[in-house]
Amino acid sequence: MLTRPDRLKDHQRERVEAARTACHEMTALADLIHHFVVLLDPADGNATLLSTWITSAQAEDLPHLHAFTRGLEKDRAAVDAAPTLPHHNGGTEGVNNKTKLIKRQMYGRASFPPLRHRILLG
């Protein structure tokens, strides 16, 4: 459901359509997800669109989605910055992920100096 409809393969599209026709809640959830995915591409008007999306999500009878929207409202400044600004911390997260991977691979094999050497040279 998180994939854009134009990128779905035929068998995936069939499964999504089967889920949507199964019940009203699934149809509402799929529509809300598709509208939310559009907000993930940074653009200037996304903060307003996000407010509209939150209002429509709270109008549906989906309790787990209500919890998600309450979480969005708690730190609204950061949430508004994410879909409107082109900046992100992807590079930092990538380095952290790589460091943790190397640490897991080296666990129990060597002491700190070889681990440090592998991180710095890797």
Per residue of the chain (122 residues), what is the pLDDT tens digit?
777 778 889 999 898 888 888 888 888 988 898 888 888 878 888 889 999 999 999 999 999 999 999 999 998 888 888 778 887 788 888 889 999 998 888 888 878 888 888 888 87
Q: Where are the domains of the chain?
A: 5-84, 90-121
Q: What is the pLDDT of residue 122?
A: 73
Alpha helices in the chain (DSSP H): 10-22, 24-38, 46-59, 63-74, 76-84, 90-106, 112-121
Q: What is the pLDDT of residue 52?
A: 94
Q: What is the pLDDT of residue 84?
A: 80
Contacts of 49 (CB under 8 A, 6+ apart): 38, 39, 83
- Distance of alpha carbon 36 from alpha carbon 48, whole angstroms: 12
